[in-house]
Structure 1
Amino acid sequence: MARRLLLAWLALLLAGGCTPVVLPMGPAIAPPALMQDAVVAADGARLPLHAWAPPGPPRAVLLALHGFNDHAGNFLADSIGALTEGGLLVYAYDQRGFGGAPNRGYWSGAATMAADASEAAALLRARHPGLPLFLMGESMGGAVAILAGTAAQPPPVDGYVLLAPALWGRQAMNALMRGGLWLAARTMPILSFGGGVGGVVASDNAAALRRLARDPLVIRRTRVDAAIGLVDLMDQAVAALPGCCRGAGRAPVPVLLLYGAQDSLIPARPVRAALRALPPGSPIRIGIHEDGFHLLLTDSNRDRVVADILAFLADPRPPLPSGADRFAPGWIAE
């Protein structure tokens, strides 16, 4: 009996000492600021900022959020020319824990990431008061945008673009995956893992995948607690999606959600389930690109994706040029 009690006590000590590390924003020390090369958050964190201007006067401003383990200088590389040629003034920053931002490799928490996005959008609204402002997120960035757009103080934007948003919460995972996450969070959260998963391809653009593999700012070994944080974010994004999304004054604004039918990183089943749960009259326009993979702005069909984005930002009411919105109902119902 004493031995069992001792083992139970040791197990509790082990579990208590192995908790996921989360490094959220600190207390505010100054108002947020927009520098030439950084978004400076209220706690003083400098988030590296990139900006791409159109060849003529901009017709709109686009704030873009990158995906997990990526960074702002990479994920737009294959489409930024088409976006700026379409008249967009594009900004993107490295989110906390990624790229050149503070605490590289550590998870900052969904609330912190959403707050950073809202602060950055407010700063851009102040810099460009006469232009429409939109928030776009890819994968993890899409989930962050959903949380920002459903927060008590949403960003002052005129619409959202969600590209393959990370909508794979625990409820859609099998028991083995959920159990593995639970066990990993309590036994080895500080360990890291690398390498890909067989059969999972992020894009059909081989040159871009090689560029990604060589990029020193791309994270290749992921801490277990960061992966668990991503799943927590996806849980929250799935729950928040039916109320997405709002802009200045908490008024509903147009939302474009694009997903690739060939996506193997965010599986189709949880995405279908999340989209079926949308209420009637949802402002979310859904487009499913039959030949799209996960990195829609990188894939070989990226020109059609960009055309859909540009058309939607100009006027969210007409059908998408690619026809992806006409393909969507049948795909969702499969």
Structure 2
Amino acid sequence: MLFLLAACAPRLQEIGPPVDQPALTEKAIHTADGKDLFLRTWLPWQGSERDRPKAVILALHGFNDHSGGLALPGHGLARRGFAVYAYDQRGFGKDPDAGIWAGSDQMIADLKTATKLLKAKYPDRPLYLLGESMGAAVIMAAELTPNPPQADGIILESPAIWGWQTQSSFNTTALDLAAHAVPWMTVVPTGLRLKASDNRRALIALARDPLVIKQTRVDAAYGLVELMTRAYDAIPKLGHPRYLVLAGGKEAILNKGAFKTGLALLPDLPPEQGRLARYPKAYHLMLRDWDAPRIYDDIAAWIEHPNAPLPSGADAPR
């Protein structure tokens, strides 16, 4: 019986020992265990800003997505003078082990590696972390670890905070049982059937993208909830570095009750230290919505003028 239970434990990627010096190349974040995390880059188009951007933004994609999903905000923020970098997190995109959960600790370790490499490349430029959904959860969880990523600020778009604290007893029991009984079983995420954006073209591209995972292993979903639990725990402790949370009024992917409860836990800080921006007509993937340029403007303004109101007027009282 013990042997059978061990055989059915949730699977994690096997991470090798440190064998290399981490490095930043044109196409990858090369990690200490020798893995290349595919990298995409969007730079200011011309002039001195290409070599000396206003700031550097390291962006993390959401669950089952990959760095290519950040192309629209990547281009949009590059046009506003920022250098944007995004890599395929382990278990997603072009990772040979795509579909297999890497574990929250390893995803956080990769974020720290990428942050250090970009800091070394741009020693005199501010560095900001931008996370979409699961990517935001990775950033938030990293903030609770010893020696968190050395960033000047974090931008959390539709942060995935549907942790065990906010799951129903039925969900908790069912997912725990499935992850330990049939971890290899795949399911179709509900997000594929719900409206994640008002940009139909972006949604069609998402559905047709072969790098987007369409069927999720149960143990990967279990790992995601564990990550979201750590992100939820981090909410009251946010503020160092300063943060900007972007919340959409038409959120349909995350549990609305959990999302609302989590946002209520944000610390009450001066606007230059912590900011919540609400967009009533925005969806989960708001940085791909038709009205996304307005949000790009807000991000740019928040980075350059932290004390000023957001251009869109999306500043939300606690």
Give yes or no for TM over 0.5.
yes
| 1:270 maps to amino acid | A
Q: Determine helix, strand or coil for the equivalent of 2:102.
A: coil
Contact in 2 for aligned 1:33/1:40 (Cα 8 Å): yes
Change (3 A) 1:25 1:13: closer
1:186 is the counterpart of 2:180: yes
Contact in 1 for aligned 2:191/2:253 (Cα 8 Å): no
| Cα distance in 1, alignment partners of residues 207 and 190 from structure 2 | 11
Match of residue 296 from structure 1: 286
| 1:89 maps to amino acid | A
1:19 is the counterpart of 2:9: yes
1:81 is the counterpart of 2:75: yes
Contact in 1 for aligned 2:190/2:253 (Cα 8 Å): no
Contact in 1 for aligned 2:268/2:274 (Cα 8 Å): no
Contact in 2 for aligned 1:65/1:142 (Cα 8 Å): yes
Query: Pairwise mapping of residues 200-211 of structure 1 onto structure 2 (< 5 A)?
Result: 200-211=194-205
1:242 to 230, 236, 243: 236
Match of residue 150 from structure 1: 144
1:173 is the counterpart of 2:167: yes
| Cα distance in 2, alignment partners of residues 195 and 98 from structure 1 | 15
Q: Which runs of 5+ in 2 are unaligned?
A: none
Q: CA deviation at 1:101?
A: 1.8
Match of residue 223 from structure 1: 217
Which range moved further: 84-93 or 188-197?
188-197
Q: Determine helix, strand or coil for the equivalent of 1:135.
A: strand
| 1:179 maps to amino acid | T
Change (3 A) 1:192 1:199: closer
| Cα distance in 2, alignment partners of residues 109 and 224 from structure 1 | 14
| 2:254 maps to amino acid | I
1:50 is the counterpart of 2:45: no
| 2:134 maps to amino acid | M
User: TM-score, length-normalised on structure 2?
Assistant: 0.93
**CA-based RMSD:** 1.7
Q: CA deviation at 1:199?
A: 6.5
2:65 to 42, 65, 70: 70
| Cα distance in 1, alignment partners of residues 15 and 80 from structure 2 | 35
2:241 to 253, 256, 267: 253
Contact in 2 for aligned 1:261/1:268 (Cα 8 Å): no
Match of residue 60 from structure 1: 55
Q: CA deviation at 1:195?
A: 5.8
TM-superposition CA deviations, 1:146-192 (whole Å, max 9, x none):
12233211112111101001011122122211111121112111111
User: TM-score, length-normalised on structure 1?
Assistant: 0.88
Which range moved further: 161-170 or 150-159?
150-159
TM-superposition CA deviations, 1:176-229 (whole Å, max 9, x none):
111111211121111112264696211111111111111111111111100110
| Cα distance in 2, alignment partners of residues 141 and 129 from structure 1 | 24
Change (3 A) 1:198 1:97: closer
| 1:271 maps to amino acid | F
Q: CA deviation at 1:40?
A: 0.5
| 1:254 maps to amino acid | R
TM-superposition CA deviations, 1:52-107 (whole Å, max 9, x none):
1102311111110000011102x222233321111001110000010002411000
Match of residue 319 from structure 1: 309
Which range moved further: 184-193 or 277-286?
277-286
| Cα distance in 2, alignment partners of residues 265 and 21 from structure 1 | 25
Percent identity between the aligned chains? 43
1:274 is the counterpart of 2:268: no
2:154 to 150, 160, 163: 160
| Cα distance in 1, alignment partners of residues 136 and 144 from structure 2 | 12
Q: CA deviation at 1:280?
A: 3.7
Q: Which runs of 5+ in 1 are unaligned?
A: 1-9, 246-251, 330-334
Which range moved further: 253-262 or 77-86?
77-86
Match of residue 305 from structure 1: 295
Q: CA deviation at 1:45?
A: 0.9
Which range moved further: 19-28 or 276-285?
276-285
Count of residues in correspondence between the two structures? 311
